[in-house]
Amino acid sequence: MGQLTTHVLDTSAGRPGAAIAWTLYRLDGEHNKLCSGVTNDDGRNDGPILSGEAFAPGTYELHFGVGDYFRQNAVVLSSPAFLDTVVIRFGIDDANQHYHVPLLVSPYGYSTYRGS
């Protein structure tokens, strides 16, 4: 069985994005919240975000609370913040594969890719 993992890196500070709240939704005509959590000191989740029977083909969104993260780390942000919640929409087409969705973020930009 496959699984979904994530990793957040704060590119502005050159360190893991620790204590960033995230929420995973499945899109089935509406946003269905599946789970939520907070990244650990290494910017990762302690285990897979999604695995087992819950890990199924479909369209998903990961929402990351990066504005709160930057504020908690004394980064001065504009009001409203340029980036407050980063939303990554992605598809899973094979439930037997590992999908890794990393987020590289700064107060004014982000990138992602399908990792391994």
Average pLDDT, the chain: 96
CA distance 85 to 55: 24
pLDDT at 1 over 90: no
Considering the four listed CATH numbers 2.60.40.180, 2.60.40.10, 3.30.1550.10, 3.90.320.10, the one that applies to the domain covering 3-112 is 2.60.40.180
Per-residue confidence (pLDDT) for residue 116, from 0 to 100: 85
The full set of domain ranges for the chain reads 3-112
What is the torsion angle, in degrees rounded to the nearest 10, for the CA atoms of residue 112, residue 10, residue 7 and residue 57?
Answer: -30
Model confidence over 8-58: pLDDT tens digits? 999 999 999 999 999 999 999 999 999 999 999 999 999 999 999 999 999
> pTM for this one?
0.96
Per-residue pLDDT at 73 exceeds 90: yes
